[in-house]
Amino acid sequence: MLFTQYYLDCLSQASYLIGDETTGRAVVVDPRRDAGEYVRDAAEAGLTIELVLETHFHADFLSGHLEVAAATGAEIAYSAVAETEFESRKLAHGERISLGDVELEIRHTPGHTPESMSIVVWERADDDAPYAVLTGDTLFVGDVGRPDLLSSKGVTAEELAGMLYDSLHQQLLTLPDDTRVYPAHGAGSSCGKNLSSDTWSTIGAQRESNYALAPMTKAEFAEVVTAGQSSPPAYFSYDATLNRLDRALLDEVTPPAALSLQAFDAAVAGGAAIIDGRSPEAFASGHLAGSINVGMGGRFSEFAGSVVPSDVDLVLVVDEGAETEARNRLARIGFDRVVGCLTQPTATMAAHPERVQVGGRVTVAEFENARREVSTIQILDNRNPGEVEQGAIDGAIVIPVGQLPSRLGELDPSRPTIVYCAGGYRSSVGASVLRAAGFEDVRDLLGGYGAWAEAMAAA
């Protein structure tokens, strides 16, 4: 058996290639949209990808089932309760898929979504115990899938939590303790609240350590797993819907168009949003007015999808050489309306200083001085509720960065504003959103709450 996990840090997303080397037959599970790596790896191993298995309709990324199918001729398959606009195979609970010696067993495990399924991997069909189980978003390392996402329209969180409880106890926890657990996500994903940075575990380890698997009633379980969840990024509902539909394929190789400043301005005049993917430091030193800073060094696509609408054209400002990567990372969440990238952004801005704005960033000492000296100062905390519960700066208005575009009315654009997050990445995003919305005096806190708390402890 060939078993390969592909882990995408920027989305905390895992996908899998499973093949039988005796027959050359293979499947891909939960692929990302830039699917060339699976195709290349399968070819190098002498495998033919015959089937694309999706554990559910993903909300946090646009899956690559159509891209893999187009490249390989593979069939696409979901749980039998899933309905797709494109042609797909419906898999029954308990159905077995033979690749040769290797065999896959389908188990319906609704709860995160109604159509969720898990895939039990048998290295040999007659083995006493399975090799692993691919749990999708039903069971994570350290957590379980949240049952309250917008992707589950028409079913209440309480109903889904009850399904999830049954799926865990009747389908997954009945597997032997040494069965490896390979989930679809890890730490940082908004599909849960307590995901581990470990990318795999075992049923036995999760039985002992996972808070959601501790002995409790179904009602207690529903309360525990829904409490303290962060607000899902704005694009989740968009992706959950798009993953059901037939759509255009991604060309992951051809670079996006190179735009002169004149062409760039024309696109913006036509309604395009500007995403500046450079680091917060580079953005602060100079950027084009109206730009939203979402640094490619962080969770670029997730936060871009949180603060920029899915139905507008996009123009990009990124470091030279990063143009195709930026476009592909946005395509991973279905943001395909990239008109192009500004040509030679550093040189272009240097040649047009009148077009450049500087972003204010303050140290902890400067922040404290401002708090003492400016009575009208407005402090904005861009973190999630769970983070705020661990400590916050007195007087801060808490608006998670993903909610900021829809909650601008809660802030006064005439007041000087300082934005902070945990470490300084999200605050640059948030501050740029405010500037683009017309807030005139906006700065963000270098090092975020972590730097502030450390300074206060040492004072």
Q: Could you report the per-residue pLDDT of 78-102, keeping only the tens digit for each? A: 999 999 999 999 999 999 999 999 9
| Section 326-353 average pLDDT | 97
Last-in-domain residue among 208, 242, 276: 242
Residues 43 and 111 in one domain: yes
Q: What is the pLDDT of residue 357?
A: 93
Residues 392 and 344 in one domain: no
Last-in-domain residue among 357, 385, 407: 357
Q: What is the pLDDT of residue 226?
A: 87
| Residue 188, in any domain of the structure | yes
Residues 398 and 332 in one domain: no
In this prediction the pTM is: 0.94
The DSSP H or E segment spanning 105 is strand 103-108
C-alpha–C-alpha distance, residues 456 and 459, integer Å: 5
The DSSP H or E segment spanning 192 is none
Please give the residue range of the domain that contains residue 174: 2-242
| Section 163-170 average pLDDT | 98
Mean pLDDT, the chain, rounded, equals 95
Instruction: Quickly state the pLDDT bin for 23 (edges 50, 70, 90).
Output: very high
| Section 57-64 average pLDDT | 96
Residues 108 and 231 in one domain: yes
The CA angle 326-41-191, to the nearest 5 degrees, is 55
Provide the CATH number for the domain around residue 304.
3.40.250.10
Classify burial at 126, counting beta carbons within 10 Å of its beta carbon; exposed 0-12, middle 13-18, buried 19 or more. Answer: exposed
pLDDT digits (tens, 9 = 90+) for 184-205: 999 888 777 778 899 999 999 9
Instruction: Quickly state the pLDDT bin for 459 (edges 50, 70, 90).
Output: confident
Handedness of CA 344, 350, 356, 357 (dihedral sign): positive
Count of Cβ atoms closer than 10 Å to residue 87 Cβ: 9
C-alpha–C-alpha distance, residues 81 and 108, integer Å: 9
Res 211 pLDDT > 70: yes
Q: What is the pLDDT of residue 152?
A: 52
Residues 84 and 216 in one domain: yes
Residue 261's nearest CA partner among 239, 234, 289 is 289
| Residue 350, in any domain of the structure | yes
Transcribe 50-92 into DSSP letters.
EEEE-SS--SSS---HHHHHHHH--EEEEETT---SS--EEEP
First-last CA distance in the chain:
58
| Section 218-239 average pLDDT | 88
Q: What is the pLDDT of residue 189?
A: 81
Residues 283 and 388 in one domain: no
Q: What is the pLDDT of residue 142?
A: 93
pLDDT digits (tens, 9 = 90+) for 8-20: 999 999 999 999 9
Q: What is the pLDDT of residue 188?
A: 80
| Residue 250, in any domain of the structure | no
Torsion of CA 408, 413, 418, 420, to 10 degrees: 10
Residues 49 and 163 in one domain: yes
What whole-number percentage of the chain has pLDDT above 90?
A: 91
Residues 344 and 365 in one domain: no
Lookup: tokens for 327: 């476009």
Instruction: Quickly state the pLDDT bin for 245 (edges 50, 70, 90).
Output: very high
| Residue 252, in any domain of the structure | no
pLDDT digits (tens, 9 = 90+) for 397-447: 999 999 999 999 999 999 999 999 999 999 999 999 999 999 999 999 999
| Residue 22, in any domain of the structure | yes
pLDDT digits (tens, 9 = 90+) for 133-165: 999 999 999 999 999 875 456 788 889 999 999
Provide the CATH number for the domain around residue 202.
3.60.15.10
The CA angle 328-331-335, to the nearest 5 degrees, is 135
Res 123 pLDDT > 60: yes
Task: Pick 229 or 146 by higher pLDDT.
Answer: 146
Residues 195 and 276 in one domain: no
Transcribe 31-49 into DSSP letters.
--S-THHHHHHHHHTT-EE
Lookup: tokens for 435: 């500037």
pLDDT digits (tens, 9 = 90+) for 366-397: 999 999 999 999 999 999 888 898 999 999 99
Q: What 3-state class would DSSP assign to 248?
A: coil
| Residue 248, in any domain of the structure | no
Last-in-domain residue among 357, 387, 418: 357
Q: What is the pLDDT of residue 216?
A: 96
Q: How many domains does the chain have?
A: 3
| Section 307-324 average pLDDT | 97
Q: What share of the chain is helix, strand, coil (3-state, %, to 5)?
A: 35, 20, 45
| Residue 249, in any domain of the structure | no
Q: How many CA atoms lie within 13 A of 90 on its CB side?
A: 8
Residues 290 and 165 in one domain: no
Residues 198 and 95 in one domain: yes
| Residue 64, in any domain of the structure | yes
Residues 384 and 326 in one domain: no
